Amino acid sequence: MTYPTRTLPMAALALVLSTGVALGHGDVTPQPVNTDGLPELTDGWEFENPFRDPSGEYWERALRIGSSAYSQNCARCHGLEVVSGGLAPDLRFLMAEEMDDEWYMERVRRGSGDRMPAYEDLMNQQAMWAIRTYIETRPDPDAMAEHMDRLRAIRDGLRDKQEAIAAGTATAEEYSDEIADLHEELSAIAVTIPTMSGAEKADSIARRAANILAAGGERSLREADETLTVGLSVSR
Ligand code: HEC
């Protein structure tokens, strides 16, 4: 089986370094994963991702915990945002179904070969499934590519609004209709983006930015800008 490789753009590299994660094979202390808010899994090891259902109670939380746990523990080998730079397999190709869940769990628990570490003693089962949830919801880059120009334009527009507010020539309230429209547009884009794993719902930057803008206000402009900026630089 071969895996497509992608090079890590500079912005992504800067993010990797700034989050304290080292690239390459140096010793990196595994980070404990806080799984507060996820349910106890008391029936032994699950065969299938218990957080998979996007309409389920725990999907959003699993995604958030998984995103951070992945960045701290897996990204240095498997790539930022699960876009492999070639050091290790691209995990986006694992199917979101029981067979590949088993394959995933086996490798994460016990490791594989001499470069994939075993995590059984380092994190609990909830953390492993949270990371699984994050991995399987990565958006299809080809589908994202079609929206990049528009997402970049939206990002630039968010920046203009922040500048106008900073300069005192406009207020966040005056932009509330426009922000609501952008929320709608980003949500509409988000639902067209598939995953590569077959998982039902992709966690794209369009989805994240739409969620942030739902809150409205100046802070949402800044956070949506940041989310789009990081995403635009990583998913190229
Ligand atoms: C030090 C580098 C490194 C780290 C850190 C690492 N992996 Fe891996 N991983 C690898 C390598 C290399 C392989 C391929 C092993 C092989 O071919 O036997 C691999 C394989 C895998 C596989 C099997 C993929 C496949 O397509 O067969 C899974 C699943 C996996 N890793 C998940 C994770 C998760 C989840 C994390 C974080 C909790 C993680 N890995 C952290 C290097 C790493």
R_g (Cα) of the chain, nearest Å: 19
**104 alpha carbon to ligand 1 midpoint, in Å?**
9
pLDDT at site 167: 97
**47 alpha carbon to ligand 1 midpoint, in Å?**
19
Please indicate whether residue 78, judged by its CB atom, sits closer than 6 Å to ligand 1.
yes
CA-nearest residue for atom 29, ligand 1, is 104
pLDDT at site 233: 85
**89 alpha carbon to ligand 1 midpoint, in Å?**
7
Distance between alpha carbon 125 and the CA centroid of its chain, in Å? Answer: 19
CA triple 108-78-211, angle to 5 deg = 95
pLDDT at site 79: 94
Please indicate whether residue 30, judged by its CB atom, sits closer than 6 Å to ligand 1.
no
In a structure prediction context, what are the per-residue pLDDT tens digits for the chain, which is 236 residues long?
A: 444 444 444 444 444 444 444 444 445 677 789 999 999 998 899 999 999 999 999 999 999 999 999 999 999 999 999 999 889 999 999 999 999 999 999 999 999 999 999 999 999 999 999 999 999 999 999 999 999 999 999 999 999 999 999 999 999 999 999 999 999 999 999 999 999 999 999 999 999 999 999 999 999 999 999 999 998 887 54
**139 alpha carbon to ligand 1 midpoint, in Å?**
20
Find out whether 215 and 141 touch, Cβ atoms under 8 Å. Answer: no
b/e map 175-194, b = 16+ CB within 10 Å: beeebeebbeebbebbeebb
- Closest by CA position to 199, among listed 64, 100, 96, 102: 96
pLDDT at site 9: 47
**Cα(40)–Cα(35) distance, integer angstroms:** 9
pLDDT at site 234: 75
pLDDT at site 31: 74
